[in-house]
Structure 1
């Protein structure tokens, strides 16, 4: 019996007949509650990996297993956040955060009867990320960083076991990005859900992840799985330490080798 929460076994992915492979013989094992990051050159299949694990696409070959069951369709236990917050412009911050509860079972069946309980949960989550007092504002009234905080809350409101993040901070300025690293880390330390973070930012990977996976050029496969032993909780002072700098340089060296291959 595997102790992995997420497992990819010899997975290949071809988007359609005649296309080149997007992923080739990819293997990965992620423990329950582990925070992993995936880095690699553009077009290497990082986002394809998320689609496979979340059940949005089936593999061409191999198996994807989540929570001891083979993935056969979109998973209910997943929360997702992307580079663009994709908040609905006609809904307030609070209503945007509540959106998954209208869709995901069993919450959608409980929402009407227990709405006040869910509203309090959403308000608490928004307060945790510094958005108390902004519940009734619309997306266009929020900065990019505030929109991304609301997007994180929306991804977590239904308390998913698995959080998938696709370049969630890539469009933000450096200061806001680092602030959101701390917010995400604090949310995860309070309730260690399993996280798969796709990022181009090697500092972000080193700051947040327990394990960093480096992918090859397309067709993507895992070349390196690097354990990150930096102690938690990490703070911005961590980024100035030699072990942090060494890890970032090591990851950069792997990416350089991938590009040169």
Structure 2
């Protein structure tokens, strides 16, 4: 029997601030398989971040259902790790202690931390080494570049081995070279740890480099308009971004988003 999708969003409507408020999502449905890496792209304000909040249980849907790991989402998910556009590291804690943070709040780790601190620290150090931060564990966030802070942020999101990793524009604030470096770091983390990943991004090249499947949203109120599978072997390299296949895929995605935006402008004109 086929396993259920890990994430199932079924005909979800989301309206902010009650009946007269902004309709952010209209009849949105999507599924994500276990261990799949899915990217969500679309015009600005189309509801990409709203989707993230629904999946992680930060907000309830106005109607429709959100099911993760076979359970209806009715509270914030403990099986999810999250990373955002800004690293949100605590400036007064070392990098190691920032990455340790989920162990202090997520059970069963919180109950064991004092007793097993050395083994938890070892896990953190191994993960920091995996992302190229070996030797920086005692530094404070302000002593690191933006890209290094974002690496630490990814470690913190993944350290408690969440089944689901939610990434909201994690590299948007970085320059293009740092960003492309971090694509490879994230790909490597995913191949080693295999969480289910939902990445929200404006960067179509990023989506094509990282994802197994890309979902394109309409303008607000958002729903999934089309999806594209990415037929590239892993591990993917920066060289692949120059191939005709990759460039055609990015152009195809851009065309759909442009049409969605034009549709929105037409609607506003009437």
Q: Which TM bucket (shorter chain)?
A: over 0.9
Answer with 197-206 or 18-27: which moved more. Answer: 18-27
3-state SS of paired residue (2:44):
coil
3-state SS of paired residue (2:106):
coil
3-state SS of paired residue (1:27):
strand
Q: Does 1:161 align with 2:163?
A: yes
Q: Which residue of 2 aligns with 1:94?
A: 96
Equivalences, count: 261
Q: 1:38 aligns with which of 29, 37, 40?
A: 40
Supply the RMSD in Å over aligned alpha carbons: 0.8
Q: Which residue of 1 aligns with 2:66?
A: 64
Q: 1:245 aligns with which of 220, 223, 247?
A: 247
Q: Which residue of 2 aligns with 1:77?
A: 79
Contact 2:8–2:31 under 8 Å retained in 1: yes
Q: Distance in 2 between matches of 1:202 and 1:179?
A: 16
3-state SS of paired residue (1:22):
strand
Q: Distance in 2 between matches of 1:180 and 1:119?
A: 23
Q: Distance in 1 between matches of 2:258 and 2:10?
A: 27
Contact 2:161–2:193 under 8 Å retained in 1: no
Q: Distance in 1 between matches of 2:7 and 2:105?
A: 24
Q: Distance in 2 between matches of 1:257 and 1:241?
A: 25
Q: 1:216 aligns with which of 194, 215, 218?
A: 218
Q: CA deviation at 1:2?
A: 5.8
Q: Distance in 1 between matches of 2:74 and 2:24?
A: 19
Q: CA deviation at 1:191?
A: 2.0
Q: TM-score, normalised by structure 2?
A: 0.95
Q: Distance in 2 between matches of 1:179 and 1:2?
A: 34
Q: Does 1:47 align with 2:55?
A: no
CA deviations 1:40-72 (Å, max 9, x no partner) are 111110000000000000100000000001001
Unpaired segments of 5 or more residues in structure 1? none
Q: Distance in 2 between matches of 1:211 and 1:60?
A: 27
Q: TM-score, normalised by structure 1?
A: 0.99
3-state SS of paired residue (1:33):
coil
3-state SS of paired residue (1:13):
strand
Q: How does 1:146-157 map to 2 (within 5 A)?
A: 146-157=148-159
Q: CA deviation at 1:190?
A: 1.1
Q: How does 1:188-207 map to 2 (within 5 A)?
A: 188-207=190-209
CA deviations 1:6-51 (Å, max 9, x no partner) are 0000001112111021111000010000000000111110000000
Contact 2:37–2:196 under 8 Å retained in 1: yes
3-state SS of paired residue (2:254):
helix
Q: Which residue of 2 aligns with 1:229?
A: 231
Q: Distance in 1 between matches of 2:88 and 2:45?
A: 22
Q: CA deviation at 1:226?
A: 1.0
Q: Which residue of 1 aligns with 2:105?
A: 103
Q: Which residue of 1 aligns with 2:134?
A: 132
